Amino acid sequence: MSTTTVQELTAVTAPEPFWTRQRRLGVALTLLGVLAAAVFGALAPGETARFTLSDNAEGAAISINGQLGAVLFGLLTLAAGGVLLAGLAKRWSTLLLGLGVLTFVLSFLCWQVAGQFMPLVDILSGTVQLALPLILGALAGVLGERSGVVNVAIEGQFLMGAFAGALVGTMAGSVWAGLISAAVGGVIIAAILAVLSIRYLVDQTVVGIVLNLFALGITGFLYERLMQPDAEHYNAPPQMPTWKVPGLSDIPVLGPVLFNATGLLWLALALVLIIHFGLNRTRWGLRTRAVGEHPTAADTVGIRVRGLRYLNVLLGGIVAGLGGAYFTLVATGSFTKNMTAGAGFIALAALIFGRYSPFGAFAAALFFGFAQKLAFYLSAINSPVPSQFLSMLPYLATIVAVAGLVGRVRAPAADGIPYVKG
Amino acid sequence: MAERRLALDPLHQVQHRSREIPLKLELRGITKRFGDLVANDHIDITVEPGEVHALLGENGAGKSTLMNQLYGLLQPDEGQIVVNDEPKVFRSPRDAIASGIGMVHQHFMLVPVFTVAENIALGAENVRGGPLGWLDRRRARREVIETSKRFGLPVDPDALIEDLPVGAQQRVEIVKALTRDVDLLILDEPTAVLTPQETDELLAVMRSLTEMGKSIVFITHKLKEVKKIADRITVIRRGQVVGTASPDTSEDELAALMVGRAVSLEVDKTPAEPGRAVLQVKGLIVDDDRGIRAVDGVDLEVRAGEVLGIAGVQGNGQTELVEAVMGLREVRAGTVELDSENLAGLSTKRILRSGVGYVPEDRSHDGVVKEFSVAENLILDMYDSTPFGNAIRLDTSRIASNAKERVAQFDIRCQSADTAVGTLSGGNQQKVVIAREMSRPLKLFIASQPTRGVDVGSIEFIHGQIVHERDQGTAVLVVSSELDEVVNLADRIAVMYRGRILAIVSPDTPREAIGLLMAGVTSEPAAVAPVEEDAPVEEAAAEEEAGGAGEEGTK
Ligand SMILES: Nc1ncnc2c1ncn2[C@@H]1O[C@H](COP(=O)(O)OP(=O)(O)OP(=O)(O)O)[C@@H](O)[C@H]1O
Ligand SMILES: [Mg+2]
C-alpha cells in the first residue's frame, strides 16, 4: 500500500492566461487614472473645493484645492491600477479596485466642486435613499435567481407594492397596513411569475416582461379611475416615521444618514445580512443554491425542487413589494402612474453587477444610488457635465459586467431553466 | 408514514426509515417507453435481503432507466414496485429515500460549485439552532472524513467538485450514499472510473453492507467484478430480461448472454510494423492545477503503425501528459513534436486539425455537448470545414448522412441521430466520441480510457477499430487504468509512476512484473523484458521514492 500514489489530480483547465481579471481591471483603472489626473486636473479651476460635513454650506468642511485634488486623486487611481497590472497584491485586488474607483470619483468631484461646496450629509443620505428600493429589489432578484428562477418582474413588483401600499395605507389610515399590503402586492406578481414559470414552464424572461406591463396597466388604470378622482380617500397614505436613535445619530456624517432614518432602511440593511448568512450558512441556503445550480442533483437527495423555488420567489415578492412601498410611503406622499420609472430594471442591473450575491447587490445598489444623487447635484450646480451621463451609469456598468470585462459574472447554472422530471 | 406534510415545506428533514427488517424488493412488469423506444419491457426482478444482485446488459439495454424508476426519478408506464410485499409509488426520489433506498448514479449528481462536504451533506444536513437551520459545517466535514476513512475511499471534504477528476467525484458519490443509512443501495456503474485498488475497497464495502442485511443492486460492465461479488445475475438485452445466471458462469458465457453472440475477450492482431516516429516527447515537465509536478521529465516516442499503451495507477501523471500533448495544459519544460513540428503553444484546435484524434478521459465534460444531437456531436470538431460546412454555413444533409453511417458502424443505440446526446445511455455517449474522433484521417490517435463504461461487445469492436487504425499507419497512444486493456492493445507498454516512465516493456511481460512497476518497484529488472535493445529502461530513482510514496491523497 505504501507504494501506491493516490494523488488527486484536477480536471482539465487551460493554462492561466496572462490577462487575468486583475490585469484587465488594472488596465481599466490605469486608463481612468490617466484620464482623471490629466483631463480632470487640466479642466479643474485652481479654486478651493469645500466638502461640508453638514447638509448646507455652513459648518466644518474638508477643503482642498480643486486642481491639486483632481491630479492627486487621479494619480492614486493610477497607482491602484498599476499595482493590479503588475500582478502584485493579488489577495487585495477587490480592495484595490474599490480604492481605485473611489479615488477616481474623488478626482472627478474635486474638479466639479472647485469654487463651490458639496454638502456631504445631503449627498450621502440622498444616495442611501435612492439606493433603498434598489437594495430591496436586487435582494428579491437574488432570492429568485439563486434558486433558478429569473425575475425580470421586479419593476412590476415595485409598482404593485407602491400602489397597494398607497391605497391600503390611505384607506386603513395606517402606514403599517400600507407596508403589509405593499408586500402582498409584490407577492401577487411573484405568485403569477412562479406559477407560470415553475408549473407551466413559460419562458421566464417573457413572463417577467409581460408582468411588468400588466402591473403598469392595472395600477395605471386604477390610479386614473380610483385615486385621481378622490385622492383624499384613496391616495394620501400616511408616511413612515423617521426615527432618530439617540446618541448614534450624533456621529458626524454617518449618524444623520443611518440613524435618523425610517425603519425601512434598517429593514433593508438587516435583510442584506440575513439573506447573505441565510444563503451561505443555513440549510435553506444550501438547498436554495443547490436547486439553482443543479436541480436534478438536489432532487436525488430528496429536496423538493419546485417547492423551494416557489418559496423563494414568493419571499422575493415580499421583499420587492416592500421596495415598492418606499416610493409611496417614504419618498413621496402619493402614488402616480408609472412612478417607479425603471427603478426595477436598475435593481436588476444591481443584481447582475453585484454577481447575484447579497453583498454585491448591496454595493452595486449604493453605487447606482450615488450616481443618481450625483446627477441631481451636478445639475443643481450647473455643471457642464450632462447629468444624463450619470443616469446611464447603471446600464453601462451592467453591460461592462455582463461582457465579462471585470471578470466573469456567473449566474447560477440552472437560472431560468424550469425543472422537468425524467 | 409521517412523510406527507405541508406541501410547502421543502426544508424539513427527509425521513430516513430506520427499521430493523431487511428490505425485499420486487419489480413486477416494469415498462418504460420513450416515444417509440421501449427502454424497459415488462421487467421482473426480485432482490432478496442481503444479496448483491448484478444487472448486466449492453449499452442502452435499459439498466439505468430501470434503476431511475426504482429511485423515483422516472415513473414507470406500467408495472409495480413492491417493497416488503407492499406496492409503492415513488413520485420522486424523496419517496424512494423514505423507503430506505439509496442510489449512486452513473452520471454524477453533484453540484459542481459546492465543496465535497456540502455535496455530501445536501439533503441530510446537520443543523443547529432549531428552525434557523444553521449548518454545522464542522460536523459535516468530520463525518465526511470519518466515513471516508472507515470505508477506505479517500476524499478531501474541502475540494470543489468542479476541480476534481472523475475518479475522485465517483468516490464522493459513493461516500455520499454510504453516509445515508439505506437498506437497499443501487450502484450504477460505480467502478467505471475507479482504480483497481479502489474497486477492491468498494467490493469489500459492499460485502460488509450485505453482511449487515442490506441489499445491493450492482451495475457494471466488468465481468470479473460481477463474478467476484454477485450473488445473483440478471441479464437485460434491449429492454427485456433475457436470463439469469449464477456467479460461477464463465466470463465468455456471460458476455454471450449479454450481447447475444459469442464475444472474443482477446484482441487479435498481427505484430506491429512500426515506421517513423510520429509523436516525440522529450524531457516533458508539466504541473497539475495546484502547481504540483505531475509529469516529471518524460521521454516518449510513438511510431506510425504501433500502439503505445501507458499503464499506471490513475493519478500518476497520465492525464496531465495527454493534456500537455493536446495543448490543454501548459508545458513547463521539454518539447512535444508531431512529425518534427513543435506543438508547444499551439491551440487544441490547431493540434486536432493537424491530424490528431483525441478521446478525453471525462466524456461528459470534455467529450460531448449533451444538449446537441448525436449528428451534431459527431461533427463537433469539423463543423467549419469540408465536407460539413464552412465558416458560414453547415451542410445539413451531409451531416445527417455522416451520422447515419457512424451510428450504424459504431452501433450507437439511439432513437435517431437527432436525439440529444444527453438522453443516450452512458456507453453510447462514449461511442459517439470514439466514432467522431476516428472518422477522419489521422496521424496520431490519443485515447484516454477509450472503453470506459462500454459493454463487452462494444469493447471488442472499439479495440478492433483501434487496431485497424494502427494497421493503416496511424500512431496510437492509449492510456488506460485497465491493465487488461493496455496489455491486449499495446505493442509496447510504458509504465508510468509518479510522473515518470519507469520502463517500457513488451506486452508479453508477466502481469505481476507490470503490476510491480505500476507500484513503483523496479528492483527486479530480470522479470522485465525490454522490447528492443535500444528501448529505454529507466530505473529512475524509484527505490527511494517507493518508500515515501503514497498516502498523499488519503487525507
Ligand atoms: N430521457 C430519455 N429520453 C429518451 N430516450 C432515453 C432517455 N433516457 C434513456 N433513453 C434511452 O433508453 C435506452 C436505455 O438507456 P439506459 O440509460 O437505461 O441504458 P443502460 O443500460 O444504462 O446503458 P449503459 O450501460 O450504456 O449505461 C437508451 O436507448 C437511451 O437512449
Ligand atoms: Mg446506464
The per-residue pLDDT for range A339-362, each reduced to its tens digit, is 998 999 999 999 998 989 999 999
Which ligand has the nearest atom to the CA of B452? 1
Most B CBs within 10 Å, among A2, A5, A195, A308, to test the B interface: A5
User: Which of B10, B118, B360 shows the shortest C-beta gap to A286?
Assistant: B118
Q: Is B169 in the pocket of ligand 1 (CB under 6 A)?
A: no
- Look at residues B377, A305, B14, B530 and name the one whose alpha carbon lies nearest to residue B2: B14
Pairwise CB contact (< 8 Å): B10 & A294? no
Q: What is the rounded distance in angstroms from the CA atom of residue A212 to the CA atom of residue A190?
A: 11
B1 interfacial to chain A (CB closer than 8 Å): no
Task: Please state, as a whole number, how many other Cβ atoms lie within 10 Å of the Cβ of residue A9.
Answer: 23
Q: What is the rounded distance in angstroms from the CA atom of residue B119 to the CA atom of residue B540?
A: 40
User: In this predicted structure, what is the pLDDT of residue B538?
Assistant: 42
Closest-CA distance, A413 to chain B, in angstroms, reads: 9
Q: What is Dmax (Cα atoms) for chain B?
A: 76
B319 interfacial to chain A (CB closer than 8 Å): yes
pLDDT over 90 at A160, yes or no: yes
User: Which of B122, B289, B320 shows the shortest C-beta gap to A286?
Assistant: B122
Q: Which residue in chain A is spatially nearest to B362 when comparing CA positions? A: A11
Which residues of A are less than 8 Å from B360 in CB distance?
Answer: 12
Q: How far is the CA of B404 from the centre of ligand 2 (A)?
A: 23
B329 interfacial to chain A (CB closer than 8 Å): yes
Which amino acid is residue A37, in one-letter code?
Answer: A
Among A54-68, A153-167, B346-360, which is the least confidently predicted range?
A54-68
Q: What is the rounded distance in angstroms from the CA atom of residue A114 to the CA atom of residue A198?
A: 55
Among A334-343, B2-11, B206-215, which is the least confidently predicted range?
B2-11
Q: Which residue in chain A is spatially nearest to B423 when comparing CA positions? A: A422
Enumerate residues 6+ apart whose C-beta is below 8 A from B524: B513, B516
Pairwise CB contact (< 8 Å): A293 & B92? no
B366 interfacial to chain A (CB closer than 8 Å): yes
Q: Where are the domains of chain A?
A: 16-115, 121-370
C-alpha cell recorded at residue A314 = 414568493
Confidence band of A10 (pLDDT split at 50, 70, 90): very low
Q: Which residue in chain A is spatially nearest to B194 when comparing CA positions? A: A6
Decide: A324 and A186 in contact? Cβ < 8 Å: yes
User: In this predicted structure, what is the pLDDT of residue A11?
Assistant: 35
* Percent share of chain B, pLDDT over 70: 88
Q: How far is the CA of B203 from the centre of ligand 2 (A)?
A: 19
**pLDDT 10s digits, B304-331:** 999 999 998 888 899 999 999 999 888 8
Q: Which of B27, B30, B33, B34 to mutate for ligand 1's pocket (most ligand atoms within 8 Å of CB)?
A: B34
Decide: B17 and B181 in contact? Cβ < 8 Å: no
Please give the average per-residue pLDDT across B156-172, as a whole number.
Answer: 91
Whether a cis peptide bond, with omega within 30° of 0, leads into B387 is yes
User: In this predicted structure, what is the pLDDT of residue A274?
Assistant: 97
Give Cα A328 distance to the centre of its chain. Answer: 19
- Look at residues A292, A328, A283, A325 and name the one whose alpha carbon lies nearest to residue A151: A292
B201 interfacial to chain A (CB closer than 8 Å): no
Decide: A352 and A400 in contact? Cβ < 8 Å: no
B313 interfacial to chain A (CB closer than 8 Å): yes
User: In this predicted structure, what is the pLDDT of residue A401?
Assistant: 67
Pairwise CB contact (< 8 Å): A300 & B93? yes
CATH of region A121-370, choose from 1.10.287, 1.10.3470, 1.10.3720, 2.60.40: 1.10.3470
Closest-CA distance, B273 to chain A, in angstroms, reads: 34
Which of the 8 DSSP states describes residue A227? Answer: I
Q: Which atom of ligand 1 is nearest to the CA of B430?
A: 26
Q: What is the rounded distance in angstroms from the CA atom of residue A186 to the CA atom of residue B414?
A: 47
CA dist B272 → A96, A173, B448, B450 (Å): 61, 94, 21, 20
Beta strand B215-219 pairing with B52-57: parallel
Confidence band of B549 (pLDDT split at 50, 70, 90): very low
Q: Is B65 in the pocket of ligand 1 (CB under 6 A)?
A: yes
Enumerate residues 6+ apart whose C-beta is below 8 A from B367: B359, B360, B429, B430, B432, B433
Q: What is the rounded distance in angstroms from the CA atom of residue A118 to the CA atom of residue A237?
A: 33
Enumerate residues 6+ apart whose C-beta is below 8 A from B217: B47, B53, B55, B67, B70, B184, B185, B186, B187
**pLDDT 10s digits, B90-136:** 999 999 999 999 999 998 999 999 999 999 999 999 888 878 899 99
User: Which of B125, B317, B366 shows the shortest C-beta gap to A12?
Assistant: B366
* Percent share of chain B, pLDDT over 90: 48
- Look at residues A364, A415, A402 and name the one whose alpha carbon lies nearest to residue A152: A415
Q: Is B55 in the pocket of ligand 1 (CB under 6 A)?
A: no
Q: Which residue in chain A is spatially nearest to B176 when comparing CA positions? A: A301
B520 interfacial to chain A (CB closer than 8 Å): yes
Q: What is the rounded distance in angstroms from the CA atom of residue A121 to the CA atom of residue A281?
A: 35
Across the A:B interface, residue pairs with CB atoms under 8 Å apart total: 184
- The H or E element spanning position B32 is strand B25-34
Decide: A28 and A89 in contact? Cβ < 8 Å: no
- Look at residues B519, B525, B554 and name the one whose alpha carbon lies nearest to residue B538: B525
Please give the average per-residue pLDDT across A288-307, as a whole number.
Answer: 96
The strand pairing partners of B414, in sequence order, are: none
- Look at residues B117, B107, B104 and name the one whose alpha carbon lies nearest to residue B160: B117
Which amino acid is residue A270, in one-letter code?
Answer: A
Confidence band of A246 (pLDDT split at 50, 70, 90): confident
Q: Which residue in chain A is spatially nearest to B154 when comparing CA positions? A: A6
Pairwise CB contact (< 8 Å): A304 & B330? no
Q: How far is the CA of B233 from the centre of ligand 1 (A)?
A: 20
pTM exceeding the 0.95 threshold for the entire prediction: no
Decide: A23 and B377 in contact? Cβ < 8 Å: no
Please give the average per-residue pLDDT across B446-472, as a whole number.
Answer: 90
C-alpha cell recorded at residue B418 = 437527432
Confidence band of B389 (pLDDT split at 50, 70, 90): low
Decide: B520 and B545 in contact? Cβ < 8 Å: yes
Starting at the edge strand found earlier in the chain, the sheet holding B331-338 runs B293-303, B277-287, B331-338, B341-342
pLDDT over 60 at A8, yes or no: no
B497 interfacial to chain A (CB closer than 8 Å): yes
Q: How far is the CA of B373 from the centre of ligand 1 (A)?
A: 15
C-alpha cell recorded at residue B9 = 415545506
**pLDDT 10s digits, B221-256:** 999 999 999 999 999 999 999 999 999 999 889 989
Report the topology of domain B264-355+441-555: Rossmann fold (3.40.50)
User: In this predicted structure, what is the pLDDT of residue B10?
Assistant: 42
Residue with cell 429536496: A303
Residue with cell 416610493: A327
Helix residue spans in A173-282 (DSSP H) = 175-194, 204-222, 231-234, 254-258, 263-281
Q: What is the rounded distance in angstroms from the CA atom of residue A355 to the CA atom of residue A349?
A: 10
Q: Which residue in chain A is spatially nearest to B177 when comparing CA positions? A: A301
Which value, in Å, is the radius of gyration of the alpha carbons in chain B?
A: 24
Pairwise CB contact (< 8 Å): B112 & A293? yes
User: In this predicted structure, what is the pLDDT of residue A252?
Assistant: 79
User: In this predicted structure, what is the pLDDT of residue B376?
Assistant: 87
Which ligand has the nearest atom to the CA of B68? 1
B242 interfacial to chain A (CB closer than 8 Å): no
User: Which of B14, B73, B550 shows the shortest C-beta gap to A421?
Assistant: B73
Q: What is the rounded distance in angstroms from the CA atom of residue B98 to the CA atom of residue A210?
A: 41
Q: Which of B27, B37, B370 to mutate for ligand 1's pocket (most ligand atoms within 8 Å of CB)?
A: B37
Q: How far is the CA of A422 from the centre of ligand 2 (A)?
A: 14
pLDDT over 70 at A14, yes or no: no
Complex ipTM value: 0.86
Confidence band of B21 (pLDDT split at 50, 70, 90): low
B110 interfacial to chain A (CB closer than 8 Å): yes
Q: Which residue in chain B is spatially nearest to A300 when comparing CA positions? A: B93
A120-146 and A305-325 helices, crossing angle to 10° = 160
User: In this predicted structure, what is the pLDDT of residue B383?
Assistant: 66
Count of all residues that appear for chain A in the document: 422
Q: Is B69 in the pocket of ligand 1 (CB under 6 A)?
A: no
Which residues of B are less than 8 Å from A311 in CB distance?
Answer: 8, 10
Q: Pick the residue with more confidence: A10 or A259?
A: A259
Which amino acid is residue B187, in one-letter code?
Answer: L
Q: What is the rounded distance in angstroms from the CA atom of residue B423 to the CA atom of residue B426?
A: 9
Which residues of A are less than 8 Å from B195 in CB distance?
Answer: 6
Enumerate residues 6+ apart whose C-beta is below 8 A from B533: none
CATH 3.30.565.10 for domain B2-111+182-259, yes or no, is no
Q: How far is the CA of B484 from the centre of ligand 1 (A)?
A: 27
Q: What is the rounded distance in angstroms from the CA atom of residue A209 to the CA atom of residue A231?
A: 29
Q: Which atom of ligand 1 is nearest to the CA of B60?
A: 19
**pLDDT 10s digits, B397-416:** 888 888 898 898 888 888 88
Q: Is B451 in the pocket of ligand 1 (CB under 6 A)?
A: no
- The H or E element spanning position B78 is strand B78-83
Closest-CA distance, B236 to chain A, in angstroms, reads: 21
Q: How far is the CA of A312 from the centre of ligand 1 (A)?
A: 34
User: In this predicted structure, what is the pLDDT of residue A378?
Assistant: 86
Decide: B217 and B233 in contact? Cβ < 8 Å: no
CA dist B408 → B74, B300, B404 (Å): 29, 36, 6
Q: Where are the domains of chain B?
A: 2-111+182-259, 264-355+441-555, 362-440
Q: Which atom of ligand 1 is nearest to the CA of B189?
A: 27
Mapping DSSP to helix (H, G, I), strand (E, B) and coil, where does residue B51 land? coil
Phi-psi region of B500 (alpha: psi -120 to 50; beta: other; left: phi over 0): beta
Give Cα A35 distance to the centre of its chain. Answer: 27
Q: Pick the residue with more confidence: A249 or A327?
A: A327
Beta strand B277-287 pairing with B331-338: antiparallel
Query: For all residues of chain B together, what is the average pLDDT?
Result: 85
User: Which of A1, A8, A290 shows the shortest C-beta gap to B168?
Assistant: A8
User: Which of B156, B316, B330 shows the shortest C-beta gap to A15?
Assistant: B330
